Amino acid sequence: MVELEKALKLLLRSGELKKIRRTGWVLHNVPHPESVAEHSFRVALMAFALADELGADRNRMVKMALIHDLGESVIGDIPVGRADYATKPAMETAAMKELSGLFANRKEFLELWDEYETRQTKEAQLVYELDKLEMVLQAFEYEREHSMDLQPFWDGVSEKIRTGEIRNKTLVEFYNLLDEKRKTFKRNKQSRHSSR
């Protein structure tokens, strides 16, 4: 019964991620921005869908993707540029240690978290990269849906590719494919406006 109570606490705590809006979108005035839970779900789905193509351990990637933002259920989504951003890693690690007590497999949970944070394995690096690519995928959707320009998000990911922080060739191709779709969308939108 104790393990069921812990699981219930964990699930209630993780439910907070459904209420926490991704701060970057809020700061850019995106109407009805996604929650942290929605973002984490698609990162996990991307891991599931692309793991074979990436030659990686699918189960490990999906598990990592599912927990990668779980600490935000305790500390919230702290964006780059906020005064306390420098302390985010320490706050998130403390939150994850607190949450680990709710897992029956605490050791595995903490190992996955540490692996993700240190990017010490291929799978951890890939989930990190998928996390960034999911963000620009979402930016593209918002740009199409709300006629917005979310260039700063694209610039951030482009810079991570340029510096090698995002380095998997398949994922760089994925980014380039998405970027080309974005450019085509923008050209088509301009030509529709020009012809009026």
Strand partners, 21: 35
Each residue of 5-62: pLDDT tens digit?
999 999 999 999 999 999 999 999 999 999 999 999 999 999 999 999 999 999 999 9
> With 0-12 CB in 10 A as exposed, 13-18 as middle and 19+ as buried, what is 177?
exposed
* 8-state DSSP, 57: -
What span, in angstroms and rounded, lies between the C-alpha atoms of 165 and 118? 13
The structural domains of the chain, with segments of one domain joined by +, span 2-194
Higher pLDDT, 194 or 75: 75
8 Å CB contact between 19 and 34:
no
What span, in angstroms and rounded, lies between the C-alpha atoms of 41 and 60? 15
Share of the chain above pLDDT 90, in %: 90
Each residue of 70-85: pLDDT tens digit?
999 999 999 888 888 8
Topology adopted by domain 2-194: Hypothetical protein af1432 (1.10.3210)
Handedness of CA 66, 100, 69, 174 (dihedral sign): negative
How far, in whole angstroms, is CA 156 from its chain's centroid?
Answer: 14
- Secondary structure in 3-state letters for 105-168: CHHHHHHHHHHHHHCCCHHHHHHHHHHHHHHHHHHHHHHHHHCCCCHHHHHHHHHHHHCCCCCC
139-to-28, 86, 108, 152 alpha-carbon distances in Å? 11, 25, 33, 10
